[in-house]
Chains A and B, each alone.
Chain A
């Protein structure tokens, strides 16, 4: 167990709806990254938050947005859902003074299905 939790485990939405996914990092981890993993593919970097501000973004449109809170929790919001947004969404947290690419602790993921 990494101590990183995500909710919900599974989620079904219809095209055009909005969704919020949640992640709870380990206490003290002030960096969180979000990834999208389509079936049969490796995770794709969406964005990273450090001390409640976005600190890097992958090739994802603005309808993917996030928030990070002082209590080490974070959210991924996706507006105007499309069928291709169906995927496993992973969050990963890093402790202070650690480079994110050295030490990341992944949560179990949220499986999103868009119909």
Chain B
């Protein structure tokens, strides 16, 4: 059974800092690894998708890396802004299965 964990659970930083959010998964036979953003009380927005054969993906100030052998993914946010404040979730589905989400990291970027 796939289990996904995320650290830290919460993070509060001043604007402009570079951030690292961590995701770990127990079963390395994943189909892909995705990072989502969730604003309070809202649905999920997909940020980055890394296929199992890839090592990283980049979108603007976001960069996500994947190391299947160690069961880890990292989301790097450069030059954080108050608008980045949200909960960030990772999901690591195995082939033929639906998403298995981590509990999320709650990020607050202070102006």
Contact = CB atoms under 8 A, between A and B. Distances in A.
B45 interface: yes
B44 interface: yes
Contacts of A66: none
Interface string B26-42: 00000110100000011
Classify the interface of chain B: helix, strand, loop or mixed. loop
Given A40-B103, A42-B4, A101-B32, A111 B98 contact: no
Contacts of A114: none
Interface stretch (A11-19, A67-75, A77-85, A102-110): A102-110
A25 B31 CA distance: 24
A109 B41 contact: yes
23 contacts: A2-B43, A2-B45, A4-B43, A33-B98, A35-B99, A40-B104, A41-B103, A41-B104, A42-B4, A42-B104, A43-B44, A44-B101, A56-B98, A88-B41, A101-B91, A101-B93, A102-B32, A104-B46, A104-B99, A106-B45, A108-B42, A109-B41, A109-B42
A86 interface: no
Contacts of B42: 108-109
B89 interface: yes
B100 interface: yes
A33 B93 CA distance: 14
Chain A interface extent, by class: 20 to 34
A101 B2 CA distance: 15
Interface residues of B, number: 22
B49 interface: yes
Nearest to A41: B103
A48 interface: yes
B43 A42 contact: no
A109 B43 contact: yes
A33 B44 CA distance: 13
Contact of A48 (B91, B98, B104): B98
A114 B87 CA distance: 24
Nearest to A47: B98
Nearest to B89: A42
